[in-house]
Amino acid sequence: MAKKDENKENREPSFEESLSELEDIVTELESGDVNLQELMEKYSRGLALSQKCMKSLDRAEKTMDLMLKEENDEVQELKLSIEGE
């Protein structure tokens, strides 16, 4: 069990985990119950998470564009290796 927890801590968070954390940060910031120092830290973390999520979505879109390609009325699946995954 400890080995499983170590692996979870060492891996990059998934898109869904990053998006969930970003949503939590937005909710906290919108509440207005955050001091200035914490606000700056959370805002910075939110920007980083937002950029990570946008990058993941961009990679997914490009992958989907490449996966199916019509050629002579035939659909061809193209394999694409995505960095970081």
User: Could you read off the pLDDT of 15-65 as tens digits, one per residue?
Assistant: 999 999 999 999 999 999 999 999 999 999 999 999 999 999 998 887 777
Give residue 84's pLDDT: 53
Residues in the chain: 85
What pTM was estimated for this model as a whole? 0.67
β-bridge mates for residue 61, sequence order: none
Give residue 79's pLDDT: 63
Integer CA distances (angstroms), 8 to 2, 5, 19, 54, in order: 10, 5, 17, 22
Give the burial class of 53: count Cβ atoms within 10 A of its Cβ; 0-12 exposed, 13-18 middle, 19 or more buried: middle
Alpha-carbon span 73 to 45, nearest angstrom: 47
